[in-house]
Structure 1
Amino acid sequence: MRVAPISFGLLLLAASAPASSAPTMQECTAIADDAERLGCYDAAAAASPAPVLLEDEPQMTALSDRWELEQATQRGRWAITPYKPNYFLLASYNTLFDDDIYVDLPPDETLDPVEAKFQISFKVKLGEDIVKHNLDLWFAYTQLAFWQVYNTDLSAPFRETNYEPEVFFLYRTDYRVLGMRARGMQLGFNHQSNGRTEPLSRSWNRLVAGALFETDRTATWLRLWYRIPESEEKDDNPDIEEYIGRGDIVVAYTLSKHTVAATLRNNLQFSDNRGSIQLDYTFPLFRNIRGYAQYFNGYGESLIQYNESSNTIGLGVLLTDWL
């Protein structure tokens, strides 16, 4: 019986290693002969254990990345990241637009129902693992602007700008509830105003509690708030929570490169129920720019007209989404 000779390269590897050990990929690269090197690679690959995903190993998701919920997604303090969507609507048309409230308009001049609308929103982590593990402190800022860019008669003014700074704690969690993963609990302070003087001034302060949930393709953000009371002399909008609401819920669903989101606000009153709904659809356009369609119906699209109903549809581009 004839035995085939063992290749010299593999013989050297066998002589320099224990009988039970297999060659490594690095050792294989030292073999000059192509056939011998290929055989070495096969032996090394066969000896390598297949990777095993542990059930309790954290799964990286878009929500985890946006809110830095896992160790692998942590960016540390002072990193600026998106908060709410950042977008620019080239045209936003309100079928119920009424400019009667603008007492500072020149005589015989009107505002247009078609305008541009854009939002800038970011957040910064101020503290990480405060007091106990998983508790972070965040600052966030959102600015929403309504721009009469096509109104050349009035030199294209900004009709309304809303400023919304907030600071909040976020406690990172990971447990199952109602078929979803509960990923975070939020508690903080929110201020919103339009920076105007009387009689067009609007502002309010809130304590906000929230929670983050997710499934494979869906992210949900639930918030309830309590308005901090103001004196009657300083209150520009004493009934604002009856229109904008006492809480909201955002649900975003992602499929391939498309995202559909809905934001619902409600005053939680059965006798005189008010609120709003906003629907968002984003889709690929080119490179990092996405197309964006937005529909809003209800109260509180802008602070200055918080108690007037809007029915608005807009189209533009989006830089960062909910996820």
Structure 2
Amino acid sequence: MQHCFSTGWRLLAILAVALPAFATESTTDTVRKKNLIRQNIPEEVRTEKVEIEVVSEDEFPDEAKNLPTLIDKVRTEMLASENPYVLLPHRPNYFLPLTWQARPSNDELERALNQYADEDVPLEDGYDHLEAIVQLSLKYIIAEDVLGNFSRIELGYTNRSFWQVYNSDISRPFRESNHEPELMVSWMLKDKIVDYVRLSLNHQSNGQTSTLSRSWNRIIAETAFIVGSGVISPKVWWRIPEGKEADPEDPKDNDNPDMDDYLGYGELHYVKLMQKHQFSIMVRNNLDFSENRGAVELGYSFPLTKKIKGYAQYFNGYGESLIDYDRYQERFGIGIKLTDWF
């Protein structure tokens, strides 16, 4: 036994001496190879400057000169349109790890739980007031200048998810996710009544089935006016007819025929640029004064780092998510914003 221990210690001693030598030799070889590679790369390749053409400021409306970040965004998107590997931000991208909703509802959860049960099944745990929200919004420029100068055909996708991340009692589920693909045609205008026009074919769905399914299809017309250091953008839509009946067991029926009663036929956006800060407001109303319903959303972003902004958001009204389109909600959230409107 003593002989075995003695032999073992000798092996460890040999390894302790040999391994650093091997490691040093390997590191030295690696550095030598990297230096050799650098020497074989021509200097002009490593320091090459690429000349690019950008749209002159003269091509933009005069009012746009008050919004340098908007000009930078348009220029960047025009350069990116030449690269088939680039996906661009569409709407703002943000993550709100802390949001508080005033009125969480378990109606759909209970309905789904009892849909195929012979007897009512009691819901032991439901949704919390506290949850996280994440929005991911991207677009791809399919073609440019095919319908006149500064025209575009784009494909966009927006996902907005509500995550019960702090609700361990029900396994922290994604309570609701809204998917919104759209095909868009847009024009940037100069010396016209409006500065921007966009038409889109839009589908919005929560990707669910049966009683949890919510979806609608729209044709949307949107314009934008530059006013001082801000942009006003009215948007109107026409819902593509589906049918007036709402049978959750029939996938051909309308999931939510009364969506217009709560979300109306359009909304108004205003975005104000204040140096590196940005304030936004969205107002929506069904314009039915006998049963008036609407919504307002306020947003404020401010710089944290060179790329990331802090973000605070407040919502009050109907239609915050598809599953809650007919339910009044109030929410406040804080988090970070990766990309802004401009």
TM-score category of the 2 structures, normalised to the smaller one? 0.7 to 0.9
Higher strand share: 1
- Give the 5 Å matches for 1:106-185: 107-175=123-191, 177=193, 182-185=194-197
- Give the 5 Å matches for 1:159-238: 159-175=175-191, 177=193, 182-231=194-243, 232=245, 233-238=252-257
1:308 aligns with 327
- How far apart, CA to CA, are the structure 2 residues paired with 1:265 and 1:319? 25
SS at match of 2:190: strand
Residue identity over aligned pairs, in percent, reads 41
**CA gap 1:64/1:257 in 2 versus in 1, 3 angstroms:** closer
**CA gap 1:65/1:190 in 2 versus in 1, 3 angstroms:** farther
Higher helix share: 2
- How far apart, CA to CA, are the structure 2 residues paired with 1:63 and 1:209? 21
2:314 aligns with 295
Deviations 1:77-110, CA, capped at 9 Å, x for gaps: 5432111110110111111222222124573111
Deviations 1:233-287, CA, capped at 9 Å, x for gaps: 5200001011122111111111121111001122232332211100001111233
Does the aligned pair in 2 maintain the 1:183–1:211 contact within 8 Å?
A: yes
Does the aligned pair in 1 maintain the 2:263–2:294 contact within 8 Å?
A: yes
Query: RMSD over aligned Cα, in angstroms?
Result: 2.2
Which range moved further: 206-215 or 290-299?
206-215
2:81 aligns with 76
Does the aligned pair in 2 maintain the 1:289–1:319 contact within 8 Å?
A: yes
- Paired positions, count: 264
Whether 1:264 aligns to 2:283 is yes
Q: For residue 308 of structure 1, report the CA deviation from its aligned partner.
A: 0.1
- How far apart, CA to CA, are the structure 1 residues paired with 2:281 and 2:189? 24
TM-score, reference length from structure 1: 0.76
Letter in 2 for 1:119: Q
- How far apart, CA to CA, are the structure 1 residues paired with 2:219 and 2:136? 22
TM-score, reference length from structure 2: 0.72
Tell me, which stretches of 5 or more residues in structure 2 are unaligned? 1-55, 114-121, 246-251
Does the aligned pair in 2 maintain the 1:81–1:122 contact within 8 Å?
A: yes
Tell me, which stretches of 5 or more residues in structure 1 are unaligned? 1-53
- How far apart, CA to CA, are the structure 1 residues paired with 2:96 and 2:340? 14
SS at match of 1:174: coil
- How far apart, CA to CA, are the structure 2 residues paired with 1:71 and 1:284? 20
Does the aligned pair in 2 maintain the 1:89–1:118 contact within 8 Å?
A: yes
Which range moved further: 209-218 or 145-154?
209-218
**CA gap 1:154/1:57 in 2 versus in 1, 3 angstroms:** closer
Does the aligned pair in 2 maintain the 1:267–1:273 contact within 8 Å?
A: yes
Letter in 1 for 2:178: N
